[in-house]
A and B are shown apart, each in its own frame.
Chain A
Amino acid sequence: GPKVLQIPSHQIIDMGQMVTLNCDPVSNHLYFYWYKQILGQQMEFLVNFYNGKVMEKSKLFKDQFSVERPDGSYFTLKIQPTALEDSAVYFCASSLEGQGERLFFGHGTKLSVL
């Protein structure tokens, strides 16, 4: 079936550094998402992105976070600077439409901030 690829699978960085998480969504999908999951806790919505713009973001999407998808390439989540509480697994997802369609998730990038 359709696949969402996330690169890298694990990233370890020092607090205060910048990190970029990369996502290759399903090729014909139009809506893109980032979710955050801290170990043992529920998956939480961060942001969604359509037609080059952020449509909705949660309070977890701090000012240090940004997303973009330049020229139809990777959909990226950048955190600058990182903080200890940013340690989590970040899941990228995509969907063809935004109204109740199934989301296709990647396997996640585990971010460890030291």
Chain B
Amino acid sequence: QEKVQQSPESLIVPEGAMVSLNCSFSDSASQSIWWYQQHPGKGPKALISIFSNGNKKEGRLTVYLNRASLHVSLHIKDSQPSDSAVYLCAVINTGANTGKLTFGHGTILRVHP
């Protein structure tokens, strides 16, 4: 069964800082990895995904995937107070064609002005 571990559990940074969030997964045969953002009382919102080894940049977000080490990271440049949320790493087995996501426990991010 796929396991997804995230670190750190929580993070407090000043506005404008670079944020780095980590995620490790157990199945090397995966899969796309998604990062979701979840604000209190709301459902998760998809931010960015990666399938191939390497990195992918979208706006202030950059994600890095290393399949050999089963590790993916999300970096948020120039963080804003509105980025304060829980960040969820989720792994999907594209081969199974079921769309099932396995989530990590999340990292709580707080960006203070």
Taking beta carbons and an 8 Å cutoff, which residues of A are in contact with B? 4, 31, 33, 35, 41-45, 48, 55-56, 91, 93, 95, 97-108
Q: Mark B81-106, 1 if CB is under 8 A from A, else 0.
A: 00000001000101011111111111
- Considering the complex, give the chain B residue whose CB is closest to the CB of A98: B99
B14 to A: closest C-beta gap in Å: 27
* Cβ-defined contact, A42 with B104, below 8 A: yes
Q: Which one of A41, A45, A56, A105 contacts B43 once the chains associate, using CB atoms below 8 Å? A: A105
15 additional contacts, CB 8 Å, given A35-B101, A106-B43? A42-B103, A42-B106, A45-B100, A45-B101, A56-B96, A56-B98, A56-B100, A91-B44, A98-B98, A98-B99, A100-B49, A100-B94, A100-B99, A102-B49, A108-B43
> In the complex, A99 Cα to B41 Cα: how many Å?
28
B15 to A: closest C-beta gap in Å: 26
How big is the B interface, by class?
20 to 34
Taking beta carbons and an 8 Å cutoff, which residues of B are in contact with A? 31-32, 34, 36, 41-46, 49, 51, 88, 92, 94, 96-106
16 contacts between A and B (CB under 8 A): A35-B101, A43-B88, A43-B101, A48-B100, A55-B98, A56-B96, A56-B98, A93-B43, A95-B99, A97-B99, A99-B97, A100-B92, A100-B99, A102-B46, A103-B44, A103-B101
Q: Which residues of B contact A97 (CB under 8 A)?
A: 99
- Considering the complex, give the chain B residue whose CB is closest to the CB of A96: B99
Q: Which one of A35, A55, A100, A107 contacts B51 once the chains associate, using CB atoms below 8 Å? A: A100
A62 to B: closest C-beta gap in Å: 18
Q: A42-B106, A43-B88, A43-B103 are in contact. Are A105 and B44 (CB under 8 A)?
A: yes
A79 to B: closest C-beta gap in Å: 20
> In the complex, A105 Cα to B41 Cα: how many Å?
12
